Amino acid sequence: MADLEIEDIQWFHQLTLKDGRVTQGLVDMARHEHLYLFDRLELQGKSLLDIGCWDGYFSFMAEQRGARRVVSLDNPDFRWGGLDGYNFLHRHFESRAEWRRGSIYDLPDERFDIVLCYGVLYHLNDPLSAMINSFHAALEEVVFEGLIYEDRQPTLFLLAPKELDGDPTNLYTMSTAYVEKVAAMCGFELVDSQMRHYASTALRRSLRKSQPRTDRAAMRFRRVAELTPAYKESCFSVAPKGLLKARGQ
């Protein structure tokens, strides 16, 4: 099949190509990198796993900023757009990034310096196993971004089908304390965060209650110990790979 042109692709990521053209994605990723804490990562010489890579913006930018190896993981069967955008950009940037069809519940049998998990957790029916897998796969850092609300209690907020934006794949939001608690059980500590504040002034933000249905955040964690949560595999709908490895299964 002939290569598709930029106009023929259903894009999610908006980015500028080498020739100045701009892909017609939903989000201008270059302008919003700070919302994902991506602009604060030291990528030179690092290996990186991009979970839920979609068109591959973060994979290709990590490569261009010095990452020595990038693995892009996704399953295009569960989203619109397919692989057209990723394949186009891979050719356009003459990339060496490795695309793999896969699931956060069955990550590659290797570990990476940095793991990115952007816009994934709130689409999952078992976010705990997914987070444990992500932490286990990381040697140094993990960054999560998604529907995360600020709260001191480690809570999940269940969404009914189509309750949020009419999207039946939105299942859970979670509190910042929930993410931090799972991180601590996996040997990670919080080093950076970016909350999306929609109130217009500092006073209004200080008075604003957290919104479990809509708030978004990015949270960056760094490994401080090699830990595995003391759960039994039978507690999970999908057994985390890290637990199985720790028990020699």
In angstroms, the CA 74 to CA 78 distance is 9
Look at residue 117 and tell me if it is in a domain: yes
Task: Kindly report, residue by residue over 204-229, the tens digit of the pLDDT.
Answer: 556 666 778 789 999 999 999 999 99
pTM: 0.92
Say how far residue 19 (Cα) sits from the centre of its chain: 28
Look at residue 1 and tell me if it is in a domain: no
Average pLDDT rounded to a whole number, residues 130-139: 97
Q: Specify the amino acid at residue 240.
A: P
Task: Kindly report, residue by residue over 97-133, the tens digit of the pLDDT.
Answer: 999 999 999 999 999 999 999 999 999 999 999 999 9
For residue 200 the two structure tokens come to: 């217009």
Look at residue 31 and tell me if it is in a domain: no
Angle at 114 between CA 110 and CA 116, to 5 degrees: 100
- Give the domain CATH number at 41: 3.40.50.150
Which value, to the nearest 10 degrees, does the dihedral of the CA atoms of residues 21, 10, 38, 173 take? 150
Look at residue 116 and tell me if it is in a domain: yes
Average pLDDT rounded to a whole number, residues 19-41: 92
Residue 33 is classified by DSSP as G
Residue 76 is part of which domain span?
A: 37-246
- Identify the pLDDT of residue 193: 96
Residue 123 is classified by DSSP as G
Q: Is the dihedral of CA 87, 89, 92, 96 positive or negative?
A: negative
- Identify the pLDDT of residue 113: 98
Look at residue 5 and tell me if it is in a domain: no
For the cut 80, the answer to whether the pLDDT of residue 245 exceeds it is: no
Look at residue 19 and tell me if it is in a domain: no
Higher confidence at residue 43 or residue 8? 43
Look at residue 3 and tell me if it is in a domain: no
* Residue closest to 180 by CA, chosen among 208, 206, 211, 155: 155
Return the biggest CA–CA distance within the chain.
Answer: 57
- Identify the pLDDT of residue 33: 95
Look at residue 30 and tell me if it is in a domain: no
In angstroms, the CA 7 to CA 11 distance is 9
CB of 150 within 8 A of CB of 210?
Answer: yes
Q: Where are the alpha helices (DSSP H) in 17-168?
A: 57-64, 84-92, 127-136
- Identify the pLDDT of residue 199: 47
pLDDT over 70, % of the chain: 92
- Identify the pLDDT of residue 203: 57
Q: Counting beta carbons within 10 angstroms of the beta carbon of residue 156, is it exposed (0 to 12), middle (13 to 18) or buried (19 or more)? A: middle
Residue 200 pLDDT level (bands cut at 50, 70, 90): very low
Question: Can you name the residues that pair with 28 across neighbouring β-strands?
Answer: 14
Q: Specify the amino acid at residue 199.
A: A
In angstroms, the CA 228 to CA 152 distance is 23
Q: How many domains does the chain have?
A: 1
* Residue closest to 141 by CA, chosen among 77, 46, 14, 22: 46
Residue 163 pLDDT level (bands cut at 50, 70, 90): very high
Task: Kindly report, residue by residue over 75-99, the tens digit of the pLDDT.
Answer: 998 887 789 999 999 999 999 999 9
- Identify the pLDDT of residue 232: 82
Average pLDDT rounded to a whole number, residues 186-196: 95
